[in-house]
Structure 1
Amino acid sequence: MKKLTDYTSFADAQAHANSAALWELFDGDREFLNIAHECMTRHADGSGRTAVRIAHGDGTDEILSFDQVAAGSAQFAHWLVENGIKPGDRIAFMLEPSLPFYISLFGAMMAGAISVPLFTLFGLDGLRLRVDDCKPSLLVTNDEKLDTAKQVEGLNVVVANDALLADIARFPSHFETKSKATDLAVFQYTSGTTRELPAAVKHTHRSLVTLMFAALYGTGIRPGDEYFCPSSPAWGHGLWHGTLAPLGLGVTTGTFAGKFDAVRLMKALQDYKITNMSAAATHYRMMKNSGKGGDFTFAMKKLSFTGEPCDPATLDFIQDTFHTAPCSMYGTTEIGVVLVNFPGAEDYVVKPGSLGKPIPGLKLEVQRADGSTTSANEVGELMLWKKDRWETTKDLARVDEDGYLYHCGRADDVIISAGWTMSAVEIENTLLKHDAVDEVAVIGVPDETRGQVVKAFVVSPRPSSDALIEELQKFTRERLAQHEFPRIVEFVSELPKTPAGKVHRKILRDREAAKAVAAAE
């Protein structure tokens, strides 16, 4: 009998994808299921098959097998129990991808505890906020972050070093899991674009099952893929789509550790003979900006991106460099992935710039402010049918005649100037076509005459000048409309970004608002 992983076409996805078919991919059932068993233990067959390839920023490679990680995770689970950890306790870990990272992630879940991955670049305030929220029984970190971690009052800190690995080695390399499918398994923090104070999204063990819709149709993962996701596993994309989804299907995955470097990434893609990659739009943009794409030979067959829309110039780079259609997938930490482009489906046409179509079984609609459905190509708010009601995604979108959806910016990224409604994303995409623009962020700023005017923050390889500003303004007007251009251009060395790599427009808006208040005083 065929499983969902045996199907690759869009037509088969519509015909066969359902909840019952997803459960058939796992050992567990609706009553008892454990993520660590599904991702590690059941694939540890003594063969030494590779589970994770880690490309370190310093140029070194680290290869971990299913056998190695499964055994270490079981030993860590026994160690946790010996140290008084009980089911439901939170185990936080602030580690780069490494053997200690994976045995912490899976060992905690084996023991029935809740894994809480934390970003390694958090400072004291960022760490304290999350510790105060999740109240972990233990934080596992490295020597580099030890001093920061020790400043958090009442926090029990363990360093993941050779001494810890030696200590857990005295325990058995198997742990019998007892978790129910509905038990909590992971606390996942968002990257901070929508709230000042962090709150964890709480996932149960059965979340691994529902995740597979995104894995199969958003990233196109199938057995036999050589997969890679450079996103940090401290965030949703890197953890769920880069780690748990491929490992849950027994697929070898890859990731990046240390300071990101686009050329190092491309070398890893070449050396590991990667056939399927899912990354943030920023990763692809940085590869484009490196100018080194032509120095490598790739084996890519499937590509996907998430986090934010990809500008046309970067989409062209992906197609020209990897000779594979880039497939967007759209979702949030709170609602999961809901729009996909079915990578690997030969009967599905990828439309450049489109978010794709809904995951099988989901219902989405673009609506006007009064709740009515928009016409084809009319911009409205993207709504998701959930729990017998429409829920907002807080994103603007449009749907074309063929049912493809397009992102038109966050609801708060609309700029209204002198009665004209403009999209920050549309202006950004146009500016990114200019060879003097490496990165750009567009916001609306207050103006006494027009209410708001468009301001662009530009990262450019060329020195700033009035002539360049005029050139960028003319370039935008000629391609959009005479009123649709940045009246103010500020050249910056870098743009503020969330830890997940998205441009953080809210920081720019807050800075401009503070300037306006100061000027009025």
Structure 2
Amino acid sequence: MVYHVTAEGETDADARESFSWDVPDDFNAAADLVGKHDGDQPALVQVADDGSRTTYTFGDLDARSNAVANALEARGVERGDRVAVVVPQKPANVLTHLACWKLGAISLPLSVLFGDDALRYRLTDSDARVAVVDASQRETIHEVAPDCSALESVLVVDGDGGGSDDERATDDGVSMEQFDDAIHWERTTFERADTDVDTPAIIMYTSGSTGDPKGVLHTHGVWLGHCPAFQLYFERDVRDGVYWTPADWAWIGALGDLVFPAWHYGQPVVGYPMGSFDAERAFELMAAEAVTNAFLPPTAIRMLIDVDEPTERYDLSLEAICSGGEPLTNEILEWADEELAGVVVNELYGQTEANLLVTNCREWFPAKPGSMGKPVPGHEVAVLDPETGERVDPGSVGEIAVRRDDDPVIFEEYWNEPAKTDAVTLVDGPDGDRWHRTGDLAERDDDGYLWFAARDDDLIITSGYRVAPREVEETLLTHEAVSQIGVVGVPDETRGEIIRAVVQPTSEAAATDELRADLRDLVRERLAAYEYPREIEFRDELPTTTTGKIRRTELTAE
């Protein structure tokens, strides 16, 4: 059955009014993403460092993921078991996810940038039974495996395709094999498990910028939940394109914002394990592969801005960019319009627990720089009073919440953390329904646009004033000498807290007292006198999580 989620209507309001989630009873994510399409259609274009490329069709991915499912089953993986995927943008990454969902198992995307402690924590917390890891993580997994009591097998994806190292075992007997040696690629049939939209499918860990990371459990319907927003931020024409993101395939912003929704609509995705982002290489890749739609974090966009005359140097097919996770300044929108010949850049909002709730769509409504956009059809989003749980009036700051109901994008639970799940669930919310509380503060204007304020625990209270760090960051990012910025509150005996800005200057800028004065004046002029950073520290590089978010907890250290 060919099944697509479509947001229909002349306007965004029409689409919200008419939308419904009408999902087949036997829904399976792998069948939806690769099994329902014409097997000859290109699905994944894998690009190597030397520019060579291999194209995998939907039929290839369906058959090869069957082979992986057979191999996992032979290693004891059963329904509900967890399988870790520690692989960059390579076919083994997505094949393992698809195989897990065919088995009824739960996949666990993890970053290849994780060190010993980060990987050990997630494998232990999830009780992962099998781990598929890139060759670059071989020694790390060998180090942590003895501490992971549930782990039985490790399949190593070699950078050259496998088979170069002998089979080996960890100190406690966990088997380690080459991925390609473990898979019998000729075994291309598999009877997939009975699943539906509510069957557990994937655990995605929060970035852990504060406290221990939480395992966010989603069901087979999660990628369907992303599709209405996917249509909007790529301007509704999503059935004739080529899609790419440099983001790590361990992150919901890569898998959910681009890879899996593209496959839901039968569109090809470019895979390229770039490592550190290289702006020139990104333009080369997008030109060579005729990429039409891209998900690019704001940090990557700001690096692209430094490339001179991109449309003259590269034959680009780019039509639309979506971005989220950091402020999108007016500078970015103007750059895309002027330097990329009118390429649309649409901001989006979501979180690991409930991704892609708000976005922009120029076809339906104009963008307002600094706004996240409007709620997406299929998701009922409200701004609620954090104390009473009631809707607040337009112009007032409240907590972003989304009605649970049958919305497939909302997570089921925090893995092994029922109390934390309960803490973000409003049982008797507006209209008596259950709502997910995001913990993010925003306000809705009279036109229905949402404006992000802060995390509810990020607000800085200085001299009685409540200051949202993001607002200060957005202002400082408009200065030509600022490359990256993090704003936090630090204790102060007189004012309770004062504002500290940790600044990464551009390569051409000098970290001087004159620049400090300019930045303070900028905030005073753009925002308010009480919002200027009394402390400004310059650093060569800001600390970030593996998903690229700034670690605010590390910015408060002296």
- TM-score after normalising by structure 2: 0.82
| Cα distance in structure 2, aligned partners of 1:275 and 1:9 | 24
Q: How much does 1:386 deviate?
A: 3.7
| Cα distance in structure 1, aligned partners of 2:349 and 2:522 | 30
1:353-392 superposed matches below 5 A? 353-368=370-385, 370-371=387-388, 373-386=391-404, 388-392=433-437
Q: Report the equivalent of 1:238.
A: 254
Q: How much does 1:75 deviate?
A: 1.3
- Select which of 261, 274, 296 maps to 2:291: 274
1:248-267 superposed matches below 5 A? 248-259=264-275, 260-267=277-284
Post-superposition Cα deviations, 1:54-83, rounded to whole Å, max 9, x if no partner, equal: 455676555333232222111111222233
Q: Report the equivalent of 2:187.
A: 172
* Residue type at the aligned position of 2:36: R
Q: How much does 1:297 deviate?
A: 3.8
| Cα distance in structure 1, aligned partners of 2:437 and 2:3 | 36
Q: Report the equivalent of 1:332.
A: 351
> Please, which moves more after superposition, 283-292 or 55-64?
55-64
Q: Report the equivalent of 1:508.
A: 555
Q: Report the equivalent of 2:331.
A: 313
Post-superposition Cα deviations, 1:7-35, rounded to whole Å, max 9, x if no partner, equal: 57535523542112xx3xxxxx22x2222
Distance 1:144 1:72, change over 3 A: same
Q: Is the 8 A contact 1:90 1:116 kept in 2?
A: yes
Q: How much does 1:170 deviate?
A: 5.2
| Cα distance in structure 1, aligned partners of 2:549 and 2:60 | 34
| Cα distance in structure 1, aligned partners of 2:298 and 2:281 | 17
Q: Report the equivalent of 2:423.
A: none
* Residue type at the aligned position of 1:103: L
Question: Helix, strand or coil for the counterpart of 1:222?
Answer: coil
- Select which of 114, 121, 140 maps to 1:122: 114
- Select which of 32, 36, 39 maps to 1:42: 36
Q: Report the equivalent of 2:500.
A: 455
| Cα distance in structure 2, aligned partners of 1:207 and 1:369 | 26
Q: Is the 8 A contact 1:44 1:70 kept in 2?
A: no
Q: How much does 1:377 deviate?
A: 2.8
| Cα distance in structure 2, aligned partners of 1:496 and 1:8 | 44
- Select which of 153, 157, 170 maps to 2:154: 157
Q: How much does 1:143 deviate?
A: 2.4
Q: How much does 1:186 deviate?
A: 1.5
- Select which of 98, 104, 111 maps to 1:112: 104
| Cα distance in structure 1, aligned partners of 2:9 and 2:545 | 34
Question: Helix, strand or coil for the counterpart of 2:555?
Answer: helix
> Please, which moves more after superposition, 371-380 or 462-471?
371-380
Name the structure where helix makes up a greater proportion of residues.
1
| Cα distance in structure 2, aligned partners of 1:503 and 1:236 | 17
| Cα distance in structure 2, aligned partners of 1:402 and 1:75 | 51
| Cα distance in structure 1, aligned partners of 2:237 and 2:57 | 19
Gaps spanning 5+ residues in structure 1: where? Answer: 24-28, 516-521
Q: Report the equivalent of 2:227.
A: 212
Q: Percent identity at matched positions?
A: 30
Q: Is the 8 A contact 1:9 1:348 kept in 2?
A: no
Question: Helix, strand or coil for the counterpart of 1:412?
Answer: coil
> Please, which moves more after superposition, 75-84 or 358-367?
358-367
Q: Report the equivalent of 2:534.
A: 487
* Residue type at the aligned position of 1:394: G
- Select which of 203, 218, 233 maps to 2:218: 203
Q: Is the 8 A contact 1:79 1:171 kept in 2?
A: no
Q: Is the 8 A contact 1:72 1:169 kept in 2?
A: no
Q: Report the equivalent of 1:298.
A: 316
Q: Report the equivalent of 1:518.
A: none
- Select which of 453, 463, 478 maps to 1:418: 463
* Residue type at the aligned position of 2:249: P
| Cα distance in structure 2, aligned partners of 1:421 and 1:69 | 51
Question: Helix, strand or coil for the counterpart of 2:510?
Answer: coil
Distance 1:292 1:165, change over 3 A: farther
Distance 1:167 1:395, change over 3 A: closer
- TM-score after normalising by structure 1: 0.88
Q: Is the 8 A contact 2:327 2:474 kept in 1?
A: no
**C-alpha RMSD of the superposition:** 2.6
Post-superposition Cα deviations, 1:315-334, rounded to whole Å, max 9, x if no partner, equal: 32233333133212111111
Q: Is the 8 A contact 2:6 2:228 kept in 1?
A: no
Q: How much does 1:363 deviate?
A: 3.1
Post-superposition Cα deviations, 1:365-422, rounded to whole Å, max 9, x if no partner, equal: 3344554544433333333344614543222212212111111122233222223332
Gaps spanning 5+ residues in structure 2: where? Answer: 164-178, 406-432
Q: How much does 1:433 deviate?
A: 1.4
Q: How much does 1:106 deviate?
A: 1.4
> Please, which moves more after superposition, 346-355 or 485-494?
346-355
* Residue type at the aligned position of 1:17: F
| Cα distance in structure 1, aligned partners of 2:359 and 2:519 | 33
| Cα distance in structure 2, aligned partners of 1:145 and 1:292 | 38
Matched positions, count? 498
> Please, which moves more after superposition, 380-389 or 229-238?
380-389
| Cα distance in structure 1, aligned partners of 2:435 and 2:357 | 14
Q: Is the 8 A contact 1:133 1:199 kept in 2?
A: no
| Cα distance in structure 1, aligned partners of 2:272 and 2:100 | 22
Q: Is the 8 A contact 1:191 1:235 kept in 2?
A: no
Question: Helix, strand or coil for the counterpart of 1:238?
Answer: helix
| Cα distance in structure 1, aligned partners of 2:376 and 2:8 | 15
